[in-house]
A and B are shown apart, each in its own frame.
Chain A
Amino acid sequence: MPKIPVPKIPDAVVPPPLRKPAKPGAGGTPKGQAPEDLKTAPERQSHGDKLLDRGKEAPIDALAWVDQRLAASGFLTGMLYRKVPKGTNWFYTLGSATLFAFIVQAVTGVFLAMYYTPSATQAYHSIAHINNDVPLGQLVHGMHKWGSSVMVILIFLHMGRTFFFGAYKYPRELNWVIGVVLLILTMTMAFTGYLLPFDQRSFWASIVGININGTGPVVGPYLSDFLRAGPELGATTLSRFYAIHMLLVPGAIIALIGAHMYLVVKLGTTAPPWVRAERPKVAAPTAALDAGANGNGRVNGHRVDGAPVDGEGNGSL
């Protein structure tokens, strides 16, 4: 049976293990003995084979060229291959699911903006045009409309997971605060987006929403005037909501999601509360100290499964 040649996975795309290299002389081949492959003379390759090998290397070379200038592989390896605590489960995907819902909203929103007219007299007709005439318009509009509800539901589930797993505690309080701001911004998106179709439902819902804003003492009446751009809901209210909906708040959300995810990678995730701490397998001085300090060694999830405690893989970007 002829052997089918399997292309070897190039070393450049395999991430290095998250471990310090062995010190020189600590292991490896004994001195004074040449490695096996240097003893035999290399086979001469034909011209075609050489070209083929070059071709195989080309994408790797291109990647290497970029990486030499970007120095991103270290960051990406640290981020994508970071250690997670024992007990990590499907509940931990709710944050990524919320992010995905946001990406869906951003992409469909950009394409809806190609057909939508933020004018009080034309907004309703432009939405009707999207739904009735534009190919796949109803689908894209529907994805945006229902996706907004999905995002709000997911953000609350994600918040509930964080709360019930105690993942908001030290040192992750700041990430909780950023998450709360993101929740408020998401509700702002839902509120401002509701007016844009400018039908009866969105018109009256926005009036009620603005009036609820107005019931705040002292600043409430001025906040209402700011939202409406005047004493009554008028022509500029719609363009104001549109600008807030597609320019102001999305920019803030993207920036805060960046900060949110940076802290997630930097601090690592927590183990679920039902995972009990194990005694560290390696009696390193720091591990003993930490286990003594917090009683259960569960504050930093990386220690629970006896992972290295010398800082490796613990948010080492």
Chain B
Amino acid sequence: MADDANKVNGAEEAPIQERAKPDPPGYFEGESMTRRRVFTIGAQALGGVAGAAIVLPAVGFAVAPIFHRGKERWEAVGPVSDFVEDTYRQVVFTETEGIGDAGKTTAYVRKSSEELGEDAGKFVAVSNRCAHLGCPVRFVEAAGNFICPCHGGVYDFQGKRIGGPPVRPLDQFQTRVRNGQVELGPRYSVTNQMEPVRARDPGEFTGGIWEYLYPPRPSTFPPP
């Protein structure tokens, strides 16, 4: 017990520290670092470099898809005469290739309407992906609304949110006419004022400060 007590308060060690240490071999006046310290730091640095050489490529490999944008894809969904102004026609087309039916998505397509303040002679393709959490909405002809089965989101004829938990209007797809066929292209999101922005995931607000809180992802296409 007595020995322990002495060790704790350091009474015995004090004289040892005062004793001058002999110079290590190779010591010269004015050296700033011992040989041992140089090798310790050097070995640790080499280990760090070796570790980084393994970890950085692996992490980069895993996060690379965030920065990769795929090829722009257009698909014909029917002749121009198929689509009218006052109601939607449901079309199914491939959004993601290589995974069979799972890569298909549904869009509701109509001719643009001047009554609603849209440019004449174009086509509007509304995605069926609910802006709440991504469930498939359907267009209800009788009500003229899009209704989501999961949590009761309701959108008007243009796709603007009029009820339920969704945070923004329904997404849309770019449209164009080639050889008399309406073609659908990349997805984009819209703000509450129906201004196109880059595609956002469901549940993310658009417009105003939200453009910074939910920044556009490099993997999406610029809006039209």
* A interface residues, Cβ below 8 angstroms from B: 120-121, 198, 203-204, 207-208, 210-212, 214-215, 217-218, 220-222, 224-226, 228-236, 238
Contact of B102 among A211, A220, A225, A233 (CB under 8 A): A233
Q: Are A221 and B65 in contact (CB under 8 A)?
A: no
B68 within 8 A of A: yes
Q: Are A231 and B204 in contact (CB under 8 A)?
A: no
Contact of A120 among B102, B199, B202 (CB under 8 A): B102
Q: Are A211 and B203 in contact (CB under 8 A)?
A: yes
* B89-118 Cβ-contact flags toward A at 8 Å (1 or 0): 000000110111011000000000000000
| Nearest CB on B from A219, distance (A) | 9
Q: Are B135 and A208 in contact (CB under 8 A)?
A: yes
Contact of A232 among B96, B100, B203, B215 (CB under 8 A): B96
B200 within 8 A of A: yes
B77 within 8 A of A: no
Q: Are B213 and A226 in contact (CB under 8 A)?
A: no
B164 within 8 A of A: no
Q: Are B99 and A120 in contact (CB under 8 A)?
A: yes
Main secondary structure of the interface of A (DSSP, over half): helix
Q: Which among B63, B103, B203 has the highest number of chain A CB atoms within 10 Å?
A: B203
B142 within 8 A of A: no
Name A225's closest neighbour in chain B (CB-CB): B66
Chain B residues 38-97 with CB under 8 Å of chain A are 62-63, 65-66, 68, 70, 95-96
With A217-B213, A231-B219, A232-B95 already in contact, the answer to whether A212 and B203 are too (CB < 8 A) is yes
Contact of B204 among A220, A225, A236 (CB under 8 A): A220
Contact of A233 among B96, B150, B203 (CB under 8 A): B96
Chain B residues 175-193 with CB under 8 Å of chain A are none
Q: Are B203 and A214 in contact (CB under 8 A)?
A: yes
With A120-B102, A230-B68 already in contact, the answer to whether A222 and B204 are too (CB < 8 A) is no
Main secondary structure of the interface of B (DSSP, over half): loop
Q: Are B204 and A214 in contact (CB under 8 A)?
A: yes
The total of Cβ contacts below 8 Å across the A-B interface reads 85
Q: Are A215 and B98 in contact (CB under 8 A)?
A: no
Name A234's closest neighbour in chain B (CB-CB): B96
With A204-B135, A211-B134, A230-B68 already in contact, the answer to whether A221 and B201 are too (CB < 8 A) is yes
Total interface residues on B, using CB and 8 Å? 30
| Nearest CB on A from B70, distance (A) | 7
Q: Are B204 and A221 in contact (CB under 8 A)?
A: yes
With A207-B134, A214-B201, A218-B215 already in contact, the answer to whether A231 and B220 are too (CB < 8 A) is yes
Q: Are B219 and A225 in contact (CB under 8 A)?
A: yes
A224 neighbours in B (Cβ, 8 Å):
201
Q: Are B99 and A121 in contact (CB under 8 A)?
A: yes
B95 neighbours in A (Cβ, 8 Å):
232
CA distance A204 to B202 in the complex (A): 13
4 new A-B contacts at CB < 8 Å, known A222-B217, A234-B96: A120-B102, A211-B134, A230-B70, A231-B217
* B195-224 Cβ-contact flags toward A at 8 Å (1 or 0): 000011111100000000111110110000
B194 within 8 A of A: no
Q: Are B99 and A221 in contact (CB under 8 A)?
A: no
With A204-B135, A221-B204, A236-B65 already in contact, the answer to whether A230 and B219 are too (CB < 8 A) is yes
With A217-B213, A218-B213, A230-B219 already in contact, the answer to whether A211 and B100 are too (CB < 8 A) is no
CA distance A212 to B200 in the complex (A): 13
| Nearest CB on B from A232, distance (A) | 5
B213 neighbours in A (Cβ, 8 Å):
217-218
Q: Are A203 and B215 in contact (CB under 8 A)?
A: no
Q: Are A215 and B204 in contact (CB under 8 A)?
A: yes
With A225-B217, A229-B65 already in contact, the answer to whether A235 and B201 are too (CB < 8 A) is no
A120 neighbours in B (Cβ, 8 Å):
98-100, 102-103
Name A224's closest neighbour in chain B (CB-CB): B201
Name B214's closest neighbour in chain A (CB-CB): A221
B135 neighbours in A (Cβ, 8 Å):
204, 208
CA distance A225 to B64 in the complex (A): 10
Closest 6 CB pairs of A and B: A120-B99, A214-B201, A215-B203, A229-B65, A231-B219, A217-B213
Q: Are B102 and A221 in contact (CB under 8 A)?
A: no
CA distance A203 to B96 in the complex (A): 14
